[in-house]
Amino acid sequence: MRNRMLAKAQQRALSAKKNLSKQYFDYREKRYDFHKLNVCYTFPMFQPYSSGTYEQRAKLTINCINQTIPSLGSLATSIDCRPPTVVKIEDFAKTKEQLRSASELKRYFDTHGSDKATLHQYHYVYGPILMDRIKIRGVLEIGMGTNNTDVVSNMGTGGRPGASLRAFRDYLEKAKIYGADIDQRILFAEDRIETFFVDQTDPESFVALGKQVPSDLDLIIDDGLHSPSANIETLKFALSRIKPGGWVVIEDIGTPTLPVWHVVSALLPHHFEAHIITANLGNLFAVRRLG
């Protein structure tokens, strides 16, 4: 009799434990949604710190992710922060001399297999920037175009790593050209070209890169990961390493992320001049250091 009562008590306890466990995991699943990406848990910076169902809070979190940067851009405009100049890529080169320089640079890009001119028309930007070819002494490009498909932001198996570095080297007869990439398998050294490792998601990586390249460059290009946070890390590094009159150019910016660059423009010190250059296949954010 006593044993049967004890067995029933143990059974009731086990049942209660299972029921409590189920309630707990039902709650966790409802709040954290283990079977899907839980946006509230994954993006805590943007979730509302308020009550509500998961569906309500998730919707607000997504709205916050999409609206915060544009709202900051609107705020910058409302308090008279200097907006960037917005120009179409085909209008960036204005004079005959600038257009001639762009055309000459295009030939070098095409010869070495770079897509900067054929696909993106970026020669209209770099031609004018590098028009005074003899005076240009240093160019750094981050992102060398890996053809290893296991790396994010690769050029595919048909890519030619270092193509644009070689084009800049041949176009700029007096310049030293530097390249940097996360894929160490494509690093190389040639006449007037040196390349180094960099991880754009790791600020310490830029510290190491800074010890290997000059601090008075004429042009720094970001053609790497094409992610806003990685772009901003590159920009932080680059702004302190270009000479007066020099440029920093962030390539391949998606149109949905342009509000980020309106905010970045508003944050720049007054001795920098910002441009958003619109194009069909990737926009650019270009910053010139004033003299």
Which residue positions in the chain have pLDDT lower than 50? 33-34
Question: What are the φ/ψ torsions at residue 271 (nearest 5 degrees)?
Answer: -90, 15
Q: Which helix (H) or strand (E) holds 113?
A: none
Amino acid 16: pLDDT: 62
Residues 175, 178: Cα–Cα separation, whole Å: 10
pLDDT at 6 (0 to 100): 61
Instruction: Give the mean pLDDT of the chain.
Output: 90
- pTM for this prediction: 0.84
pLDDT at residue 291 in the model: 79
Domains of the chain: 2-76 (no CATH), 81-289 (3.40.50.150)
What order do you get walking across the sheet with 193-197 strand by strand? 85-88, 272-278, 283-289, 242-253, 217-222, 138-142, 176-181, 193-197, 189-190
- Helix (H/G/I), strand (E/B), else coil: 267: helix
| Residue tagged 């004033």 (tokens) | 290
Under 8 Å between Cβ of 180 and 209: yes
| Per-residue model confidence as pLDDT tens digits over 220-232 | 999 999 999 999 9
